[in-house]
Structure formats: C-alpha cells, structure tokens
C-alpha cells in the first residue's frame, strides 16, 4: 500500500513538471489575445480614402490593400503600426499613390508586424516593378527593416514614418526617416542608433508640429504629444518629403 501511495506522488510530481509550464503559456496566450483585441480604429476620412478615383484604383487583395496609381516603376510595401487598423493609413497611402508610387498596404496578423515580417515576400516575388521600397509606421517600419536588411538584392530602400532600422543596411540601399517634432512615442535614441547603421544615402526629416499618430487616421494615441498641425497637413508634408527624395 505504501508503495502505491509513493508511486502516485511521483506520478503527480512528474505531471506537474510539464503541466505547469503549459498552463503558464496558455495564460500568456490568452492575455496577449485580450491585449490585441483592443486596437485603434479608423475614422471616416480613412474609410473614404479606400474608394477609387480617376488617379488611383484601390482594391482589397490577399495581403491587404493595393493602391494602384499612375506609376509603372515604383512600389512601396507598407507595414502598419502595432494595434492599428491597417486601413487607417489609407489617406496617406492614397495620396502617395497619386504621386508616382503604387502602394501595397499589408494587413498583419493580430495587427502586430512582428507576426508577419515576411509578408513582403510574395509581393516582391510577383514582380512587375523596377524599384521596390519598404517601410511603415512605428513598429511596422522596424519590422519592414528587418526583412529589407536581409533582402537588399530585392529592396532598394526603406521609408520610415516615426520608425527606424535595427539592423545594418547594405550600402546599395536608401533609407529615409520621417517623424514629427511633437512625437512622444518613437524612441529618439533608437533613431540615433539607426544613423550609425545607415547607408550613405540616408535622409532624416522632421515635420514641425507633427506627432506620432497623425501619419494615420485613427485618433489620438496614448502617450503621444499633441500635434499643432492637422493630420492632413502632416501627411501631405510626409508625401512631399518622400516624393522629393525618391525623384
């Protein structure tokens, strides 16, 4: 009888050894899913920007959204910021597509770009353009840089909005960093660190009065600074900086 009790205790201890970590992982997964379920939603301006017009045809695709403008040579693969509904960037990207650069807006799993770093792969493999650029907003830009750093033979340059690279880039590439003077979310020290890893063709611009959230149309973001210009003005200024540099 004593042996049976002892064996039973050993059995329970063995099961606890591997059950406890599984329970912990399950709890973390549930917490993350709950956290991811609260995200920033688009406003009416963004919804309207998903409509096609005489210059830009907007269509929903297997990877997200495609803004097909007059360009036959340039395309920008855009990764959205964390916990932001991807279509919040439609006004910015629609306007960019009007200016000789088509745009592929990538929808990320659970709205976190680190879960879809390689989403650009099938877009690039499909071909059709001479110049491929990548980038995005905030976390999206950093994750786009992760991909681009390892695929410099396919990606010509990076365009960051309130973001930065975390890997050294090939000298053949171009890199552009744009952020608002009132941005209180992007880590300026990381931008400084990114400069030390940047290629020779590195461009850094600030938008006076712009903040973190106004590159998209999803309202105020917790922890951000108040902008002194409108979202439309901030986005138009970003478009001007991008198009003037790419030309």
Q: How many CB atoms lie within 10 A of CB 117?
A: 17
Pairing mode of beta strands 57-60, 74-79: unpaired
| CATH H-level, domain 41-246: superfamily | Alpha/Beta hydrolase fold, catalytic domain (3.40.50.1820)
Name the nearest CA neighbour of 246 among 176, 179, 195, 194.
176
88 has a pLDDT exceeding 60: yes
Question: What integer pLDDT is reported at residue 32 of this predicted model?
Answer: 45
Report domain extents, the chain.
1-38, 41-246
pLDDT band at 237 (very low <50, low <70, confident <90, very high): very high
Question: What integer pLDDT is reported at residue 39 of this predicted model?
Answer: 85
Question: What integer pLDDT is reported at residue 34 of this predicted model?
Answer: 54
109 has a pLDDT exceeding 60: yes
Question: What integer pLDDT is reported at residue 18 of this predicted model?
Answer: 55
Question: What integer pLDDT is reported at residue 11 of this predicted model?
Answer: 46
Q: What's the whole-number mean pLDDT along residues 209-229?
A: 97
Q: How many CB atoms lie within 10 A of CB 71?
A: 19
Question: What integer pLDDT is reported at residue 175 of this predicted model?
Answer: 98
Percent of the chain at pLDDT above 70? Answer: 85
> Sign of the CA dihedral 216, 197, 242, 73?
negative
164 has a pLDDT exceeding 50: yes
Half-sphere exposure of 233 (CA within 13 A, CB side): 10
Helix axes 90-98 and 231-246, enclosed angle (nearest 10)? 40
Asked if residues 182 and 211 have their Cβ atoms less than 8 Å apart, the reply is: yes
């Amino acid at each position: 009888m004593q042996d049976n009790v002892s064996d039973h205790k050993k059995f329970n201890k063995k099961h606890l050894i591997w059950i406890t970590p599984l329970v912990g992982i399950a709890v973390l997964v549930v917490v993350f899913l709950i956290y991811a379920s609260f995200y920033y939603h688009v406003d009416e301006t963004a919804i309207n920007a998903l409509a096609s017009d005489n210059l830009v045809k907007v269509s929903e695709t297997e990877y997200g959204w495609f803004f097909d403008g007059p360009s036959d040579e340039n395309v920008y693969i855009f990764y959205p910021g964390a916990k932001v509904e991807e279509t919040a960037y439609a006004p910015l990207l629609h306007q960019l597509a009007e200016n000789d650069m088509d745009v592929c807006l990538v929808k990320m799993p659970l709205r976190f770009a680190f879960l879809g770093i390689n989403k650009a792969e099938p877009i690039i493999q499909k071909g059709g353009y001479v110049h491929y650029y990548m980038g995005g907003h905030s976390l999206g830009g950093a994750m786009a840089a992760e991909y681009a750093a390892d695929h410099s033979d396919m990606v010509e340059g990076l365009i960051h909005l309130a973001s930065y690279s975390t890997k050294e880039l090939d000298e053949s590439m171009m890199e552009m960093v744009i952020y608002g003077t009132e941005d209180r979310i992007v880590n300026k020290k990381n931008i400084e660190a990114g400069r030390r890893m940047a290629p020779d063709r590195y461009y850094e611009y600030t938008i006076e009065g712009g903040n973190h959230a106004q590159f998209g149309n999803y309202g105020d973001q917790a922890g951000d600074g108040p902008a002194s210009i409108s979202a439309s003005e901030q986005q138009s200024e970003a478009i001007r900086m991008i198009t003037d540099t790419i030309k």
